[in-house]
């Protein structure tokens, strides 16, 4: 009897592992996507749009688990510690995977060793916005104001922080950094006048600009955004050479079976090609940026060096 039970147990174990290892058997249960920012952020919106498409495609529920804080570090740590079975994914940005190692002396996760790259998703740019009370109508005037009076800037991601720090370094001004758990919270405070300016994603900032609650002075892209064609690039508005972007990608915990990683990549790329996700990407000033798992690994390694250089140029010291 014990032999029969042992054999049955072994057979069940084999069946489970076989189902996990075979891309055709995935997904067989709900998927959780961990996001390191709050609802309303670009990453959250992108994750939800993709989740909806995957659910439609596979008939399997996809749950978004928001874990803002520590510049995405709380979410990264949670995702890294999840079972490596493909049912916990991490949709994140350059903040956790390339910038944080240069911003913090100690991290609770390893952006390379703790994750299996699945695929890149999108690239995007930022919008320089100020509270209406800031007496500046363009980038040059903003720099002049900052030299005469103390200005504060908020940030809930490395992109937003480094963008403003780089602005400060290039304009030879001194701004006061106010940290937030996520960019949507910072935007609320900016609208309320608690801080003076931000350089942040269009998802978070553009609705407030259209509502007349914030002023847009420049975009961080190499060319103007079709979403705000009348707003110049920061470079053409008086700061030649200024350019900064962000990216989103999906990762799984290290050790996730390769066939499952490939299957997730396929699902993600199919979702990105859908009309709903494509519309979200376009309406939020982003562009599709897909890759294989190997290509994402190479891209992340290059981005690690690039963000290290940008952070060093901005004069930011690790905390």
Both 209 and 289 in a single domain? no
Range of the domain at 129: 125-219
Better pLDDT: 3 or 236:
236
Number of domains in the chain: 2
Q: Where are the beta strands (DSSP E) in 167-206?
A: 175-179, 197-201
What is the model's pLDDT at position 1?
Answer: 42
Q: How many other C-beta atoms are found inside a 10 Å radius of the C-beta of residue 158?
A: 26
Is pLDDT of 22 > 80?
Answer: no
Both 103 and 132 in a single domain? no
Both 13 and 114 in a single domain? yes
Is pLDDT of 15 > 50?
Answer: no
Joined together, the tokens standing for residue 35 give 């996001």
The H or E element containing residue 276 is helix 275-283
Both 106 and 150 in a single domain? no
Both 118 and 262 in a single domain? yes
pLDDT tens digits, residue range 51-63? 999 999 999 999 9
Both 144 and 275 in a single domain? no
Closest alpha carbon to 97 in 289, 261, 278, 300: 300
DSSP state of 317: P
Is pLDDT of 249 > 80?
Answer: yes
Q: From CA 267, how far away is CA 21, in angstroms rounded?
A: 16
Tell me what percent of the residues of the chain surpass a pLDDT of 90: 81
Q: From CA 271, how far away is CA 119, in angstroms rounded?
A: 12
Q: What is the mean pLDDT of the chain?
A: 91
Both 98 and 212 in a single domain? no
pLDDT tens digits, residue range 57-104? 999 999 999 999 889 999 999 999 999 999 999 999 999 999 999 999
Give yes or no for a contact between 37 and 47, defined as CB atoms under 8 angstroms apart: no
Please give, one letter per residue, the 3-state secondary structure of 24-92: HHCCCCCEEEEECCCCCCHHHHHHHHHHHHHHHHHCCCEEEEECCCHHHHHHHHHHHCCCCCCCEEEEE
What is the model's pLDDT at position 296?
Answer: 98
């Amino acid at each position: 009897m014990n032999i029969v039970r042992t054999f049955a147990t072994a057979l069940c174990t084999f069946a489970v592992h076989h189902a996990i290892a075979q891309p055709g058997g995935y997904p067989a249960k709900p998927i959780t996507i961990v996001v390191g920012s709050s609802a309303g952020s670009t990453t959250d919106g992108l994750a939800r749009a993709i989740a909806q498409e995957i659910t439609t495609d596979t008939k399997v529920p996809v749950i978004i688990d928001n874990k803002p804080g520590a510049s995405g570090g709380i979410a990264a740590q949670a995702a890294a510690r999840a079972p490596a079975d493909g049912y916990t994914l991490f949709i994140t940005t350059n903040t956790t995977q390339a910038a944080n190692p240069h911003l913090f002396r100690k991290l609770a996760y390893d952006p390379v060793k703790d994750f299996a790259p699945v695929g890149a998703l999108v690239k995007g740019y930022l919008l320089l916005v100020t509270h209406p009370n800031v007496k500046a109508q363009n980038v040059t005037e903003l720099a002049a104001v900052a030299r005469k009076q103390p200005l504060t800037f908020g940030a809930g991601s490395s992109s937003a922080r480094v963008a403003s720090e780089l602005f400060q370094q290039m304009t030879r001004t001194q701004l006061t950094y106010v940290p937030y758990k996520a960019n949507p919270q910072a935007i609320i405070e900016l609208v309320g006048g608690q801080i003076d300016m931000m350089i942040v994603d269009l998802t978070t900032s553009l609705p407030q600009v259209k509502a007349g609650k914030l002023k847009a002075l420049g975009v961080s892209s190499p060319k103007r955004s079709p979403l705000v064609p009348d707003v110049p690039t920061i470079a053409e508005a008086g700061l030649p050479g200024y350019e900064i972007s962000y990216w989103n990608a999906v990762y799984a915990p290290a050790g996730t079976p390769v066939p499952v990683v490939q299957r997730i990549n396929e699902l993600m790329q199919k979702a990105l090609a859908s009309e709903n996700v494509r519309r979200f990407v376009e309406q939020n000033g982003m562009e599709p940026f897909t890759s294989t798992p190997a290509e994402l690994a190479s891209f992340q390694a290059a981005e690690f060096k690039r963000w290290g250089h940008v952070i060093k140029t901005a004069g930011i010291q690790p905390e």
